[in-house]
Amino acid sequence: MNGAREYAELIPTGQYGRLYCTSGVHARGKTFRIQVLPKDEEAISNGPGNLCWNKDAVVVYGVIGGQLGWTEYYGWLHHGKWEEDFESLLLVKERDRIMRINRREEIEVHKELREIARIEALLSNY
């Protein structure tokens, strides 16, 4: 859904400091919500795709408009310091994603080079 897909694909459901991020999916697309937890409180998980059960947690990012399950779009419900913390989390997750992609590409290049060397070695001994 608009404003959820990118985050849901990058950040798995879980606690990140005082933020609890919930990545989910329904028939029309990805969903994503953020809750702020009380200080020094661990999230009580309610399973993948579900908000945590902490009674004093506040949803700060979620559906801000549209028809739920159909045309919903996401954004900040409350603004504050947690937005900066979330931006920092996004930067770390994006860096990690890029590093994984680069590592996979590096492995593929080495695999191709080994195959070229194997073929050249075999053919040079003909």
Residue 29's pLDDT is what?
87
pLDDT for 18-46, tens place per residue?
999 999 988 888 999 999 999 999 999 88
Number of domains in the chain: 1
Would you put residue 49 in left (φ > 0), alpha (ψ -120 to 50) or beta?
Answer: left
Question: Is residue 1 scored above 60 in pLDDT?
Answer: no
The per-residue pLDDT for range 65-116, each reduced to its tens digit, is 998 878 899 999 999 999 999 999 999 999 998 999 999 999 999 999 999 9
Q: In this structure, what DSSP letter does residue 80 have?
A: S
Q: How far is CA 49 from CA 9, 25, 60, 75, in A?
A: 12, 7, 16, 17
Can you give the residue range of the structural domain that contains 42? Answer: 5-124
What Rg do the C-alpha atoms of the chain give, in angstroms? 21
